Amino acid sequence: MPDLSVNFCGVRSPNPFWLASGPPTNTAHQVMHAFEEGWGGAVWKTIGEPIINTASRYGAVDLKNVRMMGLNNIELISDRPIEVNFREISEVKKRFPHNAVIASLMVESRRESWQEITHRANDSGADMVELNFGCPHGMSERGMGAAVGQVPDYAAMITAWVKEAATIPVIVKLTPNVTDIAHMAAAVAAAGADAVSLVNTFNSIVGVDLDTFSPCPQVQGHGSHGGYCGPAIKPIALHMVSSVARHPGAQIPISGIGGVGAWRDAVEFMLLGATSVQVCTAAMHFGFRIVREMAAGLDEYLREKGMASAMDLIGRSLPRIMDWGDLNLNYKTIARIDAEKCIGCNLCYIACEDGAHQCITSDARPAADLRHGPIPKHVPKILDDECVGCNLCSLVCPVPGCISMIEVDTGRPAMTWRQLQEARGKSPMCDMRDLLAKGGVAGD
């Protein structure tokens, strides 16, 4: 059987599926229930000086029939006393010694405050601490959260303070509301961070009520920017995780966050460099039981790939990520339509004609004439010589497997943009298309 456990900074977790710091990890009752269902770890809802939260707190973006494609929240850190949170962490670790329990921390930017709460985390029995440098609303206005995570020197300074006091691994949770998150990861790594987690939520206003004019969610007719999460942010989170994993100055473990709701999502994050994945929105939407399908799916996937351990996944896709300028410009694909599967909806033709490169034709539908037998099936046609291989048609097609992209042998050698620029520099009068066809110029 594949081993689903992961080793994160020396802490063993039964599987890579952790609950992220948030509403699902607010109490011992919730965390213990989650562990009973099969979650490998949990990051406690951020502990600090208790605050008062608002009502309402959540807003969502739906995509047609998909509810909560994106979730916005204006909720802040724990509104429960610090001593209660740490006491409950101790209780959870006694009952579930083999699960990873991480204390998320946030206090004012003073060495004494950070070191005092770190000592309390050490004493609670937590396996690790996570420094919340990501919250983009409420706390950032108080000089905490993203206000720290957006300034490399501040983030590094507080990380160093915590490392002076910590006897357990220190994870730094990064905000995505920066120009270069990999630069931030390198800064905290240099300051001694044992790991990073990313991404936290994106600054957002998810909508406005067109009747009352109030931003959503609304508090007595008013609103504020909040943190955006859920399936909608996964593509951006994947990019950011991969950029951190590839940065030479940030070679420390990564806990991936952002739109994870199924085992496939988790595998993608791990292939791009994450050792564990954190889940919040999906648990809020569907409950803790989703982890059962996630674990079963991961187990089956590892079996199919002949892998003995979930740790074998980490970073396997990173060598396949490169800068655009290093991609082969002479690689070509064209679309193929399976006439048997085609339902004649014409979506591919419309998309290509109006939104892409006019490489598909669609004859007028034949009129019904029962005297001459059944009506011929209506199937759009690909113009092979015109098709640029953009694959928009395959993305809009509603029938799985109906449109596929087929590689075409151009007979040309591989040529990247960088090579093209070098070749053109040697022969500035040459047309780039000629250079592509020839594979460069003499001496390349």
Is 135 annotated in the active site?
yes
Q: Which residues of 50-64 are buried (b: 16+ CB within 10 A; e: fewer)?
A: eeeebeeebbbbeee
Of the candidates 119, 202, 108, the one whose C-alpha atom is nearest the C-alpha of residue 148 is 108
In the beta sheet, which residues pair with residue 13? Answer: 6
Q: How many residues does the chain have?
A: 444
Question: Cα angle vertex 167, ends 110, 109, to 5°?
Answer: 10
- Nearest of 110, 41, 43 to residue 78 by alpha carbon: 43
Q: Which two tokens stand for residue 383?
A: 């113009």
| CA 403 to the chain's CA centroid | 28
Q: Which of 135, 348, 352, 359 is catalytic?
A: 135
CA–CA separation, 378 and 364 (whole Å): 8
Nearest Cα to Cα of residue 41 among 272, 240, 271, 197: 197
Peptide bond into 255 cis (omega under 30): no
Pair of tokens at residue 376: 């011929």
C-alpha distances in angstroms, 431 versus 78, 109, 332, 399, 420? Answer: 63, 58, 20, 41, 10
Cβ count within 10 A of residue 30:
20
Per DSSP, what are the bridge partners of residue 171? 130, 195
| Cα-to-chain-centroid distance, residue 390 | 24
CA separation for the pair 132, 238 (Å, rounded): 20
Q: CA–CA separation, 373 vs 179, rounded Å? A: 64
Catalytically active residues are: 135
